[in-house]
Every structure is written in C-alpha cells, then in structure tokens.
Amino acid sequence: MKSISIKLCVVLITLFSNTLLAQEFQGKAIYQSKTTVDMDNFGGRQMSEEQKKMITERMKSMLEKTFILTFNRTESTYKEEEKLETPGSGGGPWRGMMSSFTGGPQYKNVKESKLLQEQEFFGKQFLVVDELETLEWKMEGETKQIGQYTCYKATAVKKVDEMDFMNMRRRRDRGNDEKEKAEKSKDSVDRDDPMSELEVPKEITITAWYTPQIPVNQGPGEYWGLPGLILEVNAGRTTILCSKIVMNPEEKEEIKMPSKGKEVTREEYNQIMKDKIEEMREMYGGRGGRGNRRF
C-alpha cells in the first residue's frame, strides 16, 4: 500500500508540474506583415505613375503592419501594434471598410480548435467566432536560417475567404467561354462597374517556414499546426515575417479570449460586409452611373 501511495504521489506531482510549466511557459514574437497591390487591378491602367504612387503611399498604413503574437503551448493572441495615425492618411468610408479586413485582437486555442476575433466594421463591434482551419501541410525538406533559428519549409493549399479583398485580382480571361462572353457583351452595366471585373480566388498556396527549436504549433494569424513556431508565411500577395522573439519574458501577459462585440459566425459577418458594400456601391453611383467614376 505504501508503494502504491508513493507512486500515486509521484504521478500527481508530475501532472501538477507539467500543468504549471504549461501555464508559465510563454513567448512573444513580433511579425512584420506586408501586402502588395497591383494597381492595374483597381483601374490603375488609366492612372499616371504619379497617381499610382500617391494612392499606394496612402494605402501603406493598411498594407504594412506590425503584429505581436503572445503564445503558450495551447493558446495565443495576435494583435496589431498600436501606432499613432499619420496626418492625412484618411480615406473616408472606403478606408473604414478596408481596415475591417485585418480585424482586431485574435485568439487561438489549438487544443480546442477555437478561433475568436474582434472586428469593428463602420462603428459597430463584432466578435467573430469560428473553428480553426486545419491545413494539410506538406513538408518540403528545404531549410533556411531566420535570425538564430533553423527553419523548415512546409506548404499547403488554403481556401480563401470570399471577403478577403487582400487577395482580390482581375478576373481571368475566359476567352473560350463564348456563352459567357456573349452574356457579358449584352450587359453594358457590368462593363461599367469596376467591381464586376474583380474576383477573389477560391484557393491559394501557402508557404510557411517553422522552427522546431520552439516546439509549439502556433503561428501568426490563423496559421498553425506545424511542429514548431511559424516564423514566416507567404500567402498570395501577403508576406508575414518574424523580426524578434522573446522567450519567457519577465513580465508575462495574460492570454485571454476577446469578448467585445456582438457574437457572430464568419458566414454572418461576411453577409454583413456584403450588404454594406452593396449599400455603398449604390450610394457612390453603383450600377454604372456617374458616381461610379468616383468609386
């Protein structure tokens, strides 16, 4: 009996120690995110190089961001670094719409496959609740050094959210589809509507670089599921690169689920955005009117 009691105590102490370690272990990674935009996709063919440069510069604050990933073995938060807004970097209602695609604080729980994100859209606060997407990663065998860490390459095919405007592109030429060409030629309204010439691809190939030297299956944004912290992601026109890592900082930050806003699913939130975009298209001239030029 005494032997059994000792073994039981050892097991309980081990379990307690592992739980304590899991709670205490924490890391912080700083990521630089940059998205490139092909101005020709947004009417840039009719713009001068000076106009393209001016618009690209005004969009810089939306396309180049710094994020902080705070993580332990099972949970993480991913937040944009707070910065003072540059004077003259406005953009009216369209800026409000575009800023919604990056969202607010994001929480991941890889053990429970849970993803939560605060999202402010035109002055209204939402809490988007979703399941973590499980990507089928393919280990490529290539390695490279990122800072002091040896990283391994992995790729996966990811479905693109239908409202992901960061991956928007001009529609592919469907010259072989005579029926579609004929229907399009009959519809002069669609020819005059710039949004009708754009599309979001159904899927893109993701390239990630992870390091087993930090053995957690966490990463920036919604990316996760590799045997090591993901330090770099290339997804469509966006590159996310880790620039600094602090392991077990002296002042630990509480990792907690966001709670602000009306709780909605991703599908519900997408529908809210669709309705607002349609409202704005009508407000700004919509279906081929003069206001469409301003759009």
Over residues 189-203, mean pLDDT: 59
Output the average pLDDT for the chain: 76
The per-residue pLDDT for 64 is 87
| 16 confidence band (pLDDT: 50, 70, 90) | very low
> Where would I find the beta strands (DSSP E) of the chain?
27-35, 64-71, 75-80, 106-109, 114-121, 124-131, 138-146, 149-159, 169-170, 198-199, 203-211, 229-235, 238-247, 262-265
Summarised one tens digit per residue, pLDDT across range 151-195 is 999 999 998 776 666 655 655 544 444 444 445 444 444 445 555
Q: What is the residue type of 46? A: Q
3-state helix, strand, coil in the chain (%, to 5): 35, 35, 35
pLDDT for 274 beyond 50: yes
Angstrom distance (rounded) from CA 102 to CA 109: 19
Tokens for 187? 């519809």
Angstrom distance (rounded) from CA 152 to CA 224: 14
pLDDT for 80 beyond 80: yes
Range in 69-78, 213-222, 285-294 the model is least confident about = 285-294
The per-residue pLDDT for 176 is 46
Over residues 89-105, mean pLDDT: 57
pLDDT for 230 beyond 80: yes
| 249 confidence band (pLDDT: 50, 70, 90) | confident
The per-residue pLDDT for 293 is 39
The per-residue pLDDT for 172 is 58
The per-residue pLDDT for 135 is 94
Angstrom distance (rounded) from CA 284 to CA 202: 28
pLDDT for 102 beyond 60: no
List of residues 6+ apart from 6 with CB closer than 8 A: none
The per-residue pLDDT for 118 is 92
With contact defined as beta carbons under 8 Å apart, do 239 and 87 qualify? no
